[in-house]
Amino acid sequence: MWALACRPYPTWEEIRVEIDRVLPPAQRRVEGRPGQRGAGRHVVIVAWRDIASPQAGGSELLVDQLAAGLTASGDRVTLLCGGPSASHSYDVVCSGGPYSQFLGAPPAYWRRLRECDVVVEVCNGMPFLAPLWSRKPTICMVNHVHTDLWPLRFRPPLCTAGRFLEQRVMPWVHRHNLVLTVSASTARELESLGVPRERIRMLTNGAAPVGPPAPRSAEPLFLALGRLAEYKRIDLLLRLWDRVRPVVGGRLVVAGDGPQRGYLESLAGPGVTFAGRVNEEQKHRLLAAAWLLLHPALIEGWGIVITEAALRGTPAVGFDVPGLRDSVEHGRTGVLARSEAEFVSAWAALALDPARRVALGEAARRHSARLRWSTAVRHFSAAIDEAADEGR
């Protein structure tokens, strides 16, 4: 059992200690090992989307950083994904559209990529089941398990079939492979699906360095940033804003794009601004200006945007859900609410207490400063070596 499962708010240090306790020494956070082969491998990453897609989110950012990092170290990386895509330092092969790619990936792989060294399958809900059509050593990467998200996106029987594939078929197909994830929360969920504990490896998410100093807003400014999809629950945030705004005033800015944007804009009341998809410079200014980052998601793998906000001294208010328990230390670097009432109370209280808000932001900044994409790339590279060694 994972001892922290019944602890509502473990610290980041406790999470790291827990990972080291439950995973045998060879299976803990993946580190470089003596004798590893290093650069020169051909790694194929099979994923749903490229970072250039308008629907891209944290999973795509992680893949992009890992692929670019391996390429910079001398490996050849090919991303096999559905369109649209853009030019990168690594190669991209399009395997079809959002759904046709699950049928198009195997023939595209066999036509152009079958001589690779390692395949990394990114299971973002619907699995590609790469071990059924690739003979190469394979790694499965899971940011978070979509158990409660399938009914939000699809109706029966599609949601039932998708959940079965993710919860039953995917663990069985990858039963002999390493499974990478980014948080202790997801590791626990994977174990509950039958993934052997000794096969789980941990990656440490990173964050891009912050830009030049940008001013904090003089007036109350609250930010929600991310893909506008059902599980992000921005509709809930808009309803809660109606309760908070009369108390604190100011503006709520929703930055990002996604399938729910039109619906959410129809729900927006006074003081709400939809900024759309923002570039890195705009994102930096918004994160630096915001008083609080608001993150009402139902589940996350880690919540990279939490780290991006923390690096700018902006604390987060979210719900006590998997993933956010890993990236927010409750009461020290942000607040995790167990109910809508707690969320509203924390939001209003921090808006009205600048000293407490600044203290949380500074603590969040110190904790997040340790996260580097270079560390994630090093861990990823070591896992690839391990998978290749096992496949010999």
φ, ψ dihedrals at 245, nearest 5° = -55, -45
CATH number at residue 242: 3.40.50.2000
Give the total number of structural domains in the chain: 2
Residue holding tokens 């200006």?
289
232 and 101 within one domain: no
Asked if the structure places residue 16 within a domain, the reply is: no
Q: Does residue 377 share a domain with residue 360?
A: no
Q: Are residues 309 and 174 in the same domain?
A: no
Q: Do 380 and 364 belong to one domain?
A: no
Per the structure, the complete domain to which residue 304 belongs is given by: 221-368
Clarify whether residues 281 and 258 are in a common domain. Answer: yes
Same-domain status, 121 and 69: yes
Q: 90 with 159, same domain?
A: yes
Give residue 381's identity as a one-letter amino acid code: S
Residues 243 and 333 in one domain: yes
Shared-domain flag, residues 256 and 177: no
pTM for this one? 0.82
- 51 lies in the same domain as 149: yes
State the pairing for strand pair 221-225/200-202: unpaired
Question: For residue 252, is it within any domain?
Answer: yes
Distance CA 333, CA 71 (A): 34
User: Are 109 and 233 part of one and the same domain?
Assistant: no
13 inside domain = no
Helix/strand/coil for 234: helix
Q: Is residue 1 part of a domain?
A: no
Question: Residue 186 is inside which H or E element, if any?
Answer: helix 184-192
> Are residues 36 and 380 in contact, defined by beta-carbon separation less than 8 angstroms?
no
3-class DSSP state of 91: strand
Position 152 scores a pLDDT of 67
Task: Identify the pLDDT of residue 4.
Answer: 37
Mean pLDDT by 10 residues, the chain (392 residues): 39 47 41 47 97 88 96 97 94 94 96 97 93 97 81 79 90 96 92 94 86 94 94 96 97 95 96 95 97 95 91 97 93 97 98 98 93 92 95 78
Residue 356 lies inside a defined structural domain of this protein: yes
Given this model, what pLDDT does residue 62 score? 93
Q: Tell me whether residue 36 is in a domain.
A: no
H/E stretch holding 163 reads helix 158-164
Q: Look at residue 83 and tell me if it is in a domain.
A: yes
Let me know if residue 326 belongs to a domain.
yes
361 and 379 fall within a common domain: no
pLDDT reported for residue 33: 35
Q: How far apart are CA 145 and CA 246, in angstroms?
A: 37
Give the containing element (helix H, strand E) for 221.
Answer: strand 221-225
